A and B are shown apart, each in its own frame.
Chain A
Amino acid sequence: MGFYRETLGLSDSAFVLLRDLIHERTGLYFEDGKREMLADKVAPRLIELGIESFLDYYYRLKYDEGNEWGHLMDALAVPETFFWREMDQVHALVEILVPEYVESARPAPLRIWSAACSSGEEPLSIAMALHEAGWFDRFPIQIDASDASPAAIARARLGVYRERSFRSLPPGLRQKYFREEAGGWRISPALHARVRWHLANLANLNEIAPLAGAPFIFCRNVFLYFSNEAIRRTVSCFVRHMPRPGYLFLGASESLLRVTNELELCQVGSAMVYVKR
């Protein structure tokens, strides 16, 4: 018995089985070169459950009823997020698209969905930007935020953030919307209440369909970890449910070019957005 990861050998066949199961249920795809990464992320779950092999864990995931998938999503979640990240798109939303929406007498409330919100920094950034522009006083706006990781949603619901989350947020906004307390900085309850938090897996079309009717969907920096097939399925669900026009915002290094042509890539202000016309 050496280091725990070395005793829990991830064989070729177990890796493929586990990888394919995770892909099927979550959309996340670990290429052959990411075997060690998958083992590192999953090994703590095995230890917690007292399981000694990845094959046994595969069976446990696939056939056991219970909440292991939630724990696994926590383990697989990529936690890198912070306030005021890639704001060009948020500015395009607030300064151009929201006014257009309101002026064209489209239905109220105006719905925005932050899919894969992690611990909430993105939807709260959107809320801050809307609040700064005075939109909450002028038009009913509903912000939904979801993630597949129960732990991430729990942190989002808590609304307390550490220093690392603020590295891009203008100091004035931190002072305005956060109060320091033991353990971090708490978001203003009024702003926090602007967001409704949901547990939803982007690969589970039943879970996301009710949220995908929003005309503005932020789904940023999550498709990086998906296979093309999983992206296609999820985006098709978005397209089926979004109204026209509908706007999908992806991360700066993400593209639907090789995946689907159901949406048109357009420039809005200084941001690139996929549009359903």
Chain B
Amino acid sequence: MRMAVPELDAGLFTTDGELVIRSWNGWLARVTGIGAEEALGRPLATLFPEIEARGLLSRFRRVLAEGVVEVLSPRLHHYLIPCPPPFPSRRFPLMQQRVTILPLREGERVVGTMVLLEDVTARLEAEREPKATGMPEEVLVRGLREERWPSRQLALEQLAGEGGDETIRALLQLLQEGHEDLNVLTSVLHVLIHTDADITAPLCRFLEAPDAALRTYAALALGERRDREALPALLRALDDPDANVRYHAIEALGKLQATEAVDRLLQFVESRDFFLAFPALDALARIGDPGIAPRLVPLLRDELLRAAAVDVLGHLGDADVVAPLVALLGEPGMPVRTIALALATLYDRYEAQYGEGAVIAELARDALDARAVPPLLEEIREAQGDDLRPLALVLGWLEGPEVERALVRLLAEPAVHKEVVQALVRYGPRVTALLVDLLRSEDPGIGRAAAVALGRIGDPAAVPALVEALSGEEGLAIEAAGALARIGDRRACEPLLALLGHPNAAVRRAAIGALNSLGHPEMPGRIREMLLDPDPRVRESATRIAGYFAYPECRERLLERCQDEDEAVRSAAVEVLPYLEEARSMALLARALREDTPRVRAAAARALGQVEGGDALTALLEALGDTEPWVRYQAVRAIERHASPEAVEPLAQLVRSDSAIPVRAAAIEALGAIGGSRVVALLAPLVDAEEADLARSAIAALGRIAHPDAILPLLEALRSPDVMRRVEAAAALGRHAESGVVELLQWTAAVDPDPRVVQAAVDALERMATPEALAALLSLSADPGRHEVCIRALARPSQGRIEALARGLHHPNPAVRCAVVEVLARLKHPAASDLLAGALEDGHPSVRLAAVTALARLGNRRAEQRVAALAREDPDLVVRRAARQALGLRQEEG
């Protein structure tokens, strides 16, 4: 295995599967005093024995076994490799390091690790610098009792950041003895919640204290700290004799997303205990186990808990909860908005995850009846803002004249146009008359939305009204043109031709687009006449249409338009020249590029990007010296399409010295299209350019160049403090197939704090779609914070995806195997379903549960026998319950 180890301002080394060092970069040699020749070939644990003594080798072994990324936080582990800090430090005798351990792969096999060490000593030193006070810690602890908030706040900030072991002990004692003082309580809790010190054990001991208040605060603090080590103690606290303790234990378990607590929490909910049922419902929502939904359905009949149960069902429920939710709508006194929101949430989730929002809509339609109409209409009349959309969505699933009228009135609300138009289109021609009336609305937004809906309905009865709308307000005319094109009725041609001279360019363009779509046998003759129209706007429009169809009968007049007296006409004419297959085109373009006005020269430059051959390139290279920056810009863009090495030096000159940033940025991107090592050397320094557009272009260009030298500057850009540069760098790296790129992207996705960068890295891995990249995504999916983004990416349909995913069903980590099941379920493919059936045999109950749930939703009958066996025999109660539910579902359908 070979891995290029670039020079970085950070430590980078690799090991093989036995943790023998295989590469060692110059930075490490400098800071450790251990050169590469001494390090290479030696086991990591031999070179640094304390790594094993400190228990850190297990992290390496986990990376090797499971292909995950491990991060060693400086706050907890301080360093991996002991070495002095780069500058004398008051606080740290050794360099503080942030360490990332990544899997190195060959194919899908993890064959080693790559380790990145970043020196964070200076940052931590600065963070812990006391603010001017220099006060001893005991003074700060006393400061927590201060009446005045600013004094307490100062003490809090310092203690939370730097409280040592003695301080933490003092604070725990203070909590135990002084919690009746509210100032003390809030202050101490704040410090304990935010401290890096390990205080789980003492707080868990507080959960057994005789003082109920202390037990309560301990539960609160453990929940805020989200420390899973406290789980057993918190579970026991659910039986505490004090209701406040139970309350906070419930909340804490929700924050920990403790699936282990689900059954107990359900018991609290089903007990209908007013004080505890609500936090239990909230905790269940946070935990997110969809299997609980059937047990919440009966709560829909409980007046007090109903609204909360509806909300949770919207987030966790499946298709089975649609009918019970919908049934409520027809009853008096129901929380209609909450129910509509739950149904909309369910719809959106199904649409996003499975592309099956229509299933929810269909089920709702089947269950809805006329009794639901009046309450929905009443709510919609009063609703505003975010409340509107769910109500409009659900109303759109109903039928009837009252519903149709209400929906049509909702076209006045731009926020729900999409839902309303969708529903109206579903109603079809029966709402044509209602919509036609709206074309004349005083509100232009309503008229436009009505035109869009009419176009999608496609009823020719709307044509006369849409034709009339062409002479209305400009936005309406544009939408009416689009609608007429969709309907495809040639009665619209003549009125559309009349718009070709409209003063508004967007209206003219919409008319052009509609005419291009409609076509008409008389068009060539009409357009030929219009090419000589006295109105330049008409000539320009005719030029575009003639160019689009390349009518032979229009050819000569079209070529003449290249010398039209009007600049816009000439510009349109040169734009269409490449599409005419006309020998004279090149000469006309070259002349326009040399001699015409800036606008026409820019159009000619752009058009030459579509013309092959050396003459076009020659003309474009000459145009790089044009006095107008927008002409140079279009010339560069066109040269990019040619991607000729001949252009490297002229483009490099522009990058160095053009006065216009857009020209330089375009030249950078054009160089990226050409590629090669010389280009990489030119572009690499620009990833750090002060000017953001130049840096962005350089990063994108390096992404296009298939050369290993392009990787290091992209890696530097991945570490940029600028978020957008990191996003661009992740996307650019994804276009490289060199060894090590998958690891870098996996690292980025695992550790970058910005979700946009994570998304970019995940998308890059998904696009690469190599077995290594998919394996990296599967490993990432085990991280709860990356789970959904990875699942969504993996579930995008792609050739060969299923086979690659199948191998993930043998991953050592059950969380990864569960992720594979989830992805297979979303792919909705017969081959995927067969694999899911295989997952019913998995050794881990969580995987079997995921497979049962997925197969139930997909309705796979072939697995029914096996599911029945699980329902009888599975050793895990939750799996047996899910299997019974799955069979129950199918029995109802049968």
Residues of chain B within 8 A (CB-CB) of A1 are: 512-513, 516, 544, 548
Q: Which of B503-511, B670-678, B823-831 contacts A (4 or more CB under 8 A)?
A: B503-511
Indicate whether A50 reaches chain B with its CB closer than 8 angstroms: yes
In the docked arrangement, what's the CA distance between A47 and B512, Å?
A: 12
Indicate whether A180 reaches chain B with its CB closer than 8 angstroms: no
Residues of chain A within 8 A (CB-CB) of B599 are: 50
Closest Cβ–Cβ distance, residue B539 to chain A (whole Å) = 15
In the docked arrangement, what's the CA distance between A13 and B665, Å?
A: 14
Contact string against B for A residues 57-69, beta-carbon threshold 8 Å, 1 for contact and 0 otherwise: 0011011000000
Residues of chain B within 8 A (CB-CB) of A50 are: 568, 571, 599, 602-603
**A52 touching B509 in the complex, CB below 8 Å, given contacts A3-B482, A3-B485:** no
Closest chain B residue to A33, Cβ basis: B418
Chain B residues 456-507 with CB under 8 Å of chain A are: 482, 485, 504-506
Residues of chain A within 8 A (CB-CB) of B630 are: 60
Indicate whether A258 reaches chain B with its CB closer than 8 angstroms: no
In the docked arrangement, what's the CA distance between A44 and B571, Å?
A: 18
Residues of chain B within 8 A (CB-CB) of A59 are: 633, 661-662, 665, 693
**A163 touching B385 in the complex, CB below 8 Å, given contacts A1-B513, A3-B513, A3-B514:** no
Residues of chain A within 8 A (CB-CB) of B384 are: 253
* CB <8 Å contact, A43 and B571: no
Chain B residues 508-544 with CB under 8 Å of chain A are: 509-510, 512-514, 516-517, 544
Residues of chain B within 8 A (CB-CB) of A43 are: 506
Residues of chain A within 8 A (CB-CB) of B665 are: 59
Residues of chain A within 8 A (CB-CB) of B660 are: 63
* CB <8 Å contact, B385 and A4: no
* CB <8 Å contact, A164 and B443: yes
Majority secondary structure of chain A interface residues (helix, strand, loop or mixed): helix
Indicate whether B606 reaches chain A with its CB closer than 8 angstroms: yes
Residues of chain A within 8 A (CB-CB) of B442 are: 162-164
Closest chain B residue to A59, Cβ basis: B662
In the docked arrangement, what's the CA distance between A99 and B510, Å?
A: 55
Indicate whether A172 reaches chain B with its CB closer than 8 angstroms: no
Set B385, B443, B568, B606: member contacting A52, Cβ < 8 A: B606
Closest Cβ–Cβ distance, residue B179 to chain A (whole Å) = 29
Indicate whether A48 reaches chain B with its CB closer than 8 angstroms: yes
* Size range of the chain A interface in the assembly: 20 to 34
**A44 touching B505 in the complex, CB below 8 Å, given contacts A2-B513, A2-B516, A3-B482:** yes
Residues of chain B within 8 A (CB-CB) of A3 are: 482, 485, 510, 513-514, 517
Closest chain A residue to B571, Cβ basis: A50
In the docked arrangement, what's the CA distance between A1 and B544, Å?
A: 9
Contact string against B for A residues 161-180, beta-carbon threshold 8 Å, 1 for contact and 0 otherwise: 01110000000000000000
In the docked arrangement, what's the CA distance between A43 and B514, Å?
A: 16
Closest chain A residue to B508, Cβ basis: A47
In the docked arrangement, what's the CA distance between A80 and B693, Å?
A: 36
Closest Cβ–Cβ distance, residue A24 to chain B (whole Å) = 11
In the docked arrangement, what's the CA distance between A44 and B474, Å?
A: 11
Chain B residues 689-719 with CB under 8 Å of chain A are: 693, 700
In the docked arrangement, what's the CA distance between A163 and B441, Å?
A: 11
Residues of chain A within 8 A (CB-CB) of B700 are: 13
Closest chain B residue to A252, Cβ basis: B384
In the docked arrangement, what's the CA distance between A1 and B385, Å?
A: 37
Residues of chain A within 8 A (CB-CB) of B661 are: 59, 63
Contact string against B for A residues 1-17, beta-carbon threshold 8 Å, 1 for contact and 0 otherwise: 11110100000010010
In the docked arrangement, what's the CA distance between A44 and B479, Å?
A: 13
* CB <8 Å contact, B516 and A47: no
Residues of chain B within 8 A (CB-CB) of A4 are: 506, 509-510, 512-513
Residues of chain B within 8 A (CB-CB) of A52 are: 606
Closest chain A residue to B606, Cβ basis: A52
Contact string against B for A residues 38-56, beta-carbon threshold 8 Å, 1 for contact and 0 otherwise: 0000011001101010001
Residues of chain B within 8 A (CB-CB) of A62 are: 693
* CB <8 Å contact, B506 and A47: yes
In the docked arrangement, what's the CA distance between A62 and B660, Å?
A: 11
In the docked arrangement, what's the CA distance between A62 and B506, Å?
A: 23
In the docked arrangement, what's the CA distance between A221 and B568, Å?
A: 39
In the docked arrangement, what's the CA distance between A58 and B513, Å?
A: 24
In the docked arrangement, what's the CA distance between A32 and B3, Å?
A: 38
In the docked arrangement, what's the CA distance between A43 and B505, Å?
A: 10
In the docked arrangement, what's the CA distance between A127 and B513, Å?
A: 47
Residues of chain B within 8 A (CB-CB) of A44 are: 504-506
Closest Cβ–Cβ distance, residue A257 to chain B (whole Å) = 14
Closest chain A residue to B567, Cβ basis: A50
In the docked arrangement, what's the CA distance between A130 and B107, Å?
A: 78
Residues of chain A within 8 A (CB-CB) of B509 are: 4, 47
Contact string against A for B residues 849-878, beta-carbon threshold 8 Å, 1 for contact and 0 otherwise: 000000000000000000000000000000
In the docked arrangement, what's the CA distance between A1 and B576, Å?
A: 11
Closest chain B residue to A43, Cβ basis: B506
Closest chain B residue to A36, Cβ basis: B418
In the docked arrangement, what's the CA distance between A60 and B571, Å?
A: 18
Chain A residues 71-94 with CB under 8 Å of chain B are: 80
In the docked arrangement, what's the CA distance between A80 and B414, Å?
A: 11
Closest Cβ–Cβ distance, residue A119 to chain B (whole Å) = 14
* CB <8 Å contact, B510 and A2: no
Most chain A CB within a 10 A radius of its CB, from B485, B513, B724: B513
Residues of chain B within 8 A (CB-CB) of A48 are: 505-506
Contact string against A for B residues 706-739, beta-carbon threshold 8 Å, 1 for contact and 0 otherwise: 0000000000000000001000000000000000
Q: Given known contacts A1-B544, A4-B513, A50-B571, what 20 new A-B pairs fall within 8 Å (CB)?
A: A3-B510, A3-B514, A4-B509, A4-B512, A44-B504, A50-B603, A52-B606, A56-B633, A59-B633, A59-B661, A59-B662, A59-B665, A60-B630, A62-B693, A63-B661, A80-B445, A162-B442, A164-B442, A164-B443, A253-B385
5 A-B pairs with least C-beta separation: A44-B506, A59-B662, A4-B509, A3-B513, A164-B442
Q: List 9 A-B contacts (CB under 8 A).
A: A1-B544, A4-B510, A44-B504, A47-B509, A50-B571, A59-B661, A62-B693, A162-B442, A253-B385
